[in-house]
Chains A and B, each alone.
Chain A
């Protein structure tokens, strides 16, 4: 950490001292999430979502490992093994629903986390690496989630695998060879299922490793904050523990409440009924759709309906991957020296249009490919690419931002009405003032 006033680790117990002298893990924890990591004092609840994403990953790994003790990855028995978990394994229904809905929670949290980054300019210098690693994590998450959904071997599992691996055949010349190599066959079958199980078990640990790098990269400059103004001195920060451990604890409580409502009262709401039908390679479902967190990308894929030099299918695949790859370039597409959109009134309008646009794309992705939805997807996809590739570079160059506060502390005091003496503190009265 680069803040000179950061507290230093002082082992309080003989045991921690002994360990720390031989393996500096206690001090690593202290400096990363303990009292040794200074964090801006003005973070809002949107900063909770990073920790929540880590918690969601932990939930998925624990429930996943436990489910893997009962799951059988072979075409003839996979579906039945999942039902065995649901019916006969002690608490199996809870573990399965937790894992399935946990994936949705993971994506809800990560999407909020990403949009926080977009709004507050967290991807800008000097945090570009944090952002790049984050996009890598997102790609790994998508791969993991896709493979995980194939494992129950329901109709959507099979046909989703068929469609997604079909993308590769859009690549000219080598496309189909790659597809057959990926599947280990000509259609999703035992070979594909087994390798997806192996990789689905592996990738979350790769994600965990990249998350370590992601946090390391963040802790060099320290966290961003809602004003986007750098930390100037000790008065701008508070130690991570106990201030943000307490806030994250509360955030975790809300997360678990939402999670519990899904698991116990609406466990199949975010899923698709067709996945409760065993996979049948000879019968296509009426509407093949992926899980809701892929819907915006699915809409972009299906928006390209006419050939234009390249076949439409290839355009769709390129655009779908391109919509994520362009995120890698974001720190260089946005040249505004101001981080936080709070101070960028022109860009702010476009930001909210982007949010609406992504929601519209999501809705279209989950709908049948009827002409109305296709037309809306085409307009919405056009805006998505225009936003990042055309609008953002121009607006960031030309707009006149609002004046920034000189420091975080100044912004905080301005919010609380300047130099009024402290309301000694019953928490309620502090709340009331806000």
Chain B
């Protein structure tokens, strides 16, 4: 009895699926899926590797590079992009001391929202190390108004919020802004970059609202004397953003090695105990 019911139900479902399958195939045949402009560009231009020392299973930050990246962020990006989940005191992790952190915080261009102690009105005050980096714009509406109707995203988690984040940031900022290629326009005339946007071959839909942030070599003068080429600055800011997204990366890798070592020894011991317990029992 149950066989009959299950058989009918089963064949019914298969029939419905066959119906959907039929129409899917018809759809594919009559209107074959065409590659999009994005697919076309992505295939031709895979992401470039930022070659960051933090990549890989045993990666570690190069603190000098992260500091250079912070400098690039501060001088180029922080005008529009916040890193609101990072606190000034976190900079101690990348090698700045208490005094430097205090100075960086106090000198930060954007002040912390506060209340006037006498009148109670909305005011601002200088940043303290315990503060988070303040927002650049009060809200999304203000952000759009100041930026060509686009909201500059917060950078705290940027390298975790995109596939292959560090390489994505490096490629986009360091090598993404090129002239829109003629063959792309010929194949996909709709992909022509609208006025007010910029063509970037690594951006998801190829047309980004942000003008090229790193326009020329030497835009930032590195304190450690490293040559500030666009490529270098892009790598360094990618390293900095990798740190803002994962400040605990070094600790995590170190703890991981210790844990794996411990567990592998445990596996050997446990296997030995298992063999010992079962030694006389055929199984």
Binding site for B on A (CB under 8 A): 41-43, 80, 83, 86-87, 93-94, 97, 238, 242-243, 246-247, 249-250, 252-254, 256-257, 260-261, 263-265, 267-268, 273-274, 276-277, 286, 303-306, 308, 312, 315, 319, 322, 326, 329, 332-333, 335, 370-372, 374-375, 378-379, 381-382, 385-386, 388-390, 393-394, 397, 412-413, 415-416, 422, 425-427, 430-431
Contacts and interface: CB of A to CB of B under 8 A. Distances in A.
B139 interface: no
22 contacts: A94-B252, A238-B283, A243-B278, A257-B264, A273-B163, A308-B16, A315-B16, A322-B13, A332-B2, A375-B25, A378-B21, A378-B24, A382-B18, A385-B13, A385-B17, A386-B10, A388-B10, A389-B11, A393-B3, A397-B3, A412-B283, A430-B275
Contact of A260 (B6, B24, B256, B279): B256
Contact of B248 (A41, A86, A249, A253): A86
Interface stretch (B71-79, B97-105, B211-219, B265-273): B265-273
B253 to A, nearest CB: 7
B11 A254 contact: no
Contact of B283 (A41, A261, A329, A378): A41
Given A246-B273, A370-B33, A431-B275, 6 more contacts: A260-B260, A264-B260, A265-B253, A322-B13, A425-B280, A427-B276
A385 B253 CA distance: 45
B267 A257 contact: yes
A261 B252 CA distance: 11
Nearest to A383: B14
B223 interface: no
Interface residues of B, number: 63
A372 B33 CA distance: 9
Contacts of A370: 33
Given A253-B270, A276-B157, A371-B28, A379 B280 contact: no
A73 to B, nearest CB: 19
B85 interface: yes
A385 B14 contact: yes
A318 B222 CA distance: 62
B275 A427 contact: yes
B13 A249 contact: no
B43 interface: no
Interface in B1-60: 2-3, 6-7, 9-11, 13-14, 16-25, 27-28, 33, 57
A374 B260 CA distance: 41
A371 B29 CA distance: 10
Given A246-B274, A250-B267, A304-B17, A273 B24 contact: no
Interface string B151-162: 001001100111
Contacts of B6: 326, 329, 333, 388-390, 393
A378 B20 contact: yes
A381 B2 contact: no
A2 B178 CA distance: 77
Contacts of B23: 305-306
A385 B57 contact: no
A393 B10 CA distance: 11
A381 B14 CA distance: 8
B197 interface: no
A364 B192 CA distance: 32
A266 to B, nearest CB: 8
Nearest to B17: A382
B186 interface: no
Contact of B20 (A41, A246, A304): A304
Interface of B: 2-3, 6-7, 9-11, 13-14, 16-25, 27-28, 33, 57, 85, 90, 153, 156-157, 160-163, 165, 204, 245, 247-248, 251-253, 255-257, 259-260, 263-264, 266-267, 270-283
A245 to B, nearest CB: 8
A286 to B, nearest CB: 7
A268, A329, A427 pick with most chain B CB within 10 angstroms: A427
Given A370-B33, A378-B21, A381-B17, A425 B279 contact: yes
A257 B260 contact: yes
B252 A93 contact: yes
Task: Across the A-B interface, give the 4 residue pairs with the lowest CB-CB distance, nearest first.
Answer: A264-B256, A389-B10, A427-B275, A276-B161
Contacts of B248: 86-87, 93
A375 B24 contact: yes
A229 B135 CA distance: 69
A382 B24 CA distance: 14
Nearest to A83: B85
Contacts of A333: 2-3, 6
Contacts of A382: 13-14, 17-18, 21
Contacts of B25: 375
Nearest to A315: B16
Nearest to B56: A265
A423 B50 CA distance: 59
A250 B24 contact: no
B34 to A, nearest CB: 11
Contacts of A250: 267, 270-271, 273-274
A94 B249 CA distance: 11
A143 B167 CA distance: 36
A274 B277 CA distance: 49
A265 B204 contact: no
A94 B281 contact: no
A303 B274 CA distance: 47
A107 to B, nearest CB: 21
Contact of B160 (A249, A273, A393, A394): A273
A257 B263 contact: yes
Residue picked from A246, A274, A379, most chain B C-beta under 10 Å = A246
A268 B256 contact: no
A385 B10 contact: yes
A430 B161 contact: no
